[in-house]
Amino acid sequence: MDTKRQTGLLLVLGTIISMVGWIAFYPADPTDAAAVWATKLIADPDMAVTGMVLGFGGTVALLIGLFNIARRITMGNGAGSSYANVSTILILATITLLVVVAGFEFTVAGAESVQAVGPVVGVAYAMNSTMPLVLGLAVIALGVGIALEKTYQIKNLPIVALLGVISGVILVASVIAENTDWQGIGWPVLMLTTLALGVLRLRASD
């Protein structure tokens, strides 16, 4: 399998799998308060674990796809390489955050009560709150890099780059303004961006 097809599959399948996990199985909501969020995971551990396996697994997969794209632009040393280089570092940081948070959330889901894992709940919730900021900055940098490289265009328009920047700005703003409701807009736009990138990569591999 060539790199283009691999990256395309990671983006497309990762996006779909993560959406299924978070929407169809994960029993909690990111806008819930920490105690409410933890209570929902503990109340339905089977659904929580299924949602986390699909959600975290799919998200890591699509992030690896974004990392491949950012790394390729960086190695090309073109107009967008400096921005893509920043994006690669931030994407790796996001993947690290995801893996750590996943471990905490599995611990919470297997607990007998919220009180039994109080410190873990606090740390996991704080890291979850930080993640949109890091990922948002990564996607903004990647979007700018793609726009400067004039790649991944649809009908000669930088639509994908623009979607990436918009999703990143919304995710960053949601953290700064402490308004988690904005993530309900930012995440879908990001998913649309990764799907579009994946499709374009798969078409390029044919």
pLDDT one-digit tens code per residue, 142-194: 999 999 999 998 888 899 999 999 999 999 999 999 888 899 999 999 999 99
Mean of the pLDDT values across residues 111-123?
A: 90
3 state DSSP class of 157: strand
Which of 78-82, 106-110, 113-117, 145-149 comes out lowest in average pLDDT?
Answer: 113-117
> If DSSP states are collapsed to H, E and C, what string results for the chain?
CCHHHHHHHHHHHHHHHHHHHHHHHCCCCCCCCHHHHHHHHHHCHHHHHHHHHHHHHHHHHHHHHHHHHHHHHHHHCCCCHHHHHHHHHHHHHHHHHHHHHHHHHHHHHCCCCCHHHHHHHHHHHHHHHHHHHHHHHHHHHHHHHHHHHCCCCECCECHHHHHHHHHHHHHHHHHHCCCHHHHHHHHHHHHHHHHHHHHHHHHHHC
Whole-number average pLDDT of the chain: 93
Instruction: Tell which residue, 139, 128, 134, has the closest CA to residue 192.
Output: 139
State the pLDDT at residue 157.
Answer: 86
State the pLDDT at residue 206.
Answer: 61
Measured CA to CA, the distance from residue 26 to residue 140 in angstroms comes to 27
Does the pTM exceed 0.85? yes
Torsion of CA 70, 71, 73, 77, to 10 degrees: 140
Instruction: Tell which residue, 142, 4, 10, 132, has the closest CA to residue 85.
Output: 142
Find tokens 């699909």 and name the residue: 54
State the pLDDT at residue 100.
Answer: 95
Per-residue pLDDT reduced to its tens digit, 46-95: 999 999 999 999 999 999 999 999 999 999 999 999 999 999 999 999 99
Write down the domain spans for the chain.
Answer: 3-205
User: Inter-axis angle of helices 34-43 and 118-149, to 10 degrees?
Assistant: 100
Work out the burial of residue 178: count CB atoms within 10 Å of its CB; fewer than 13 is exposed, 13-18 middle, 19 or more buried: exposed
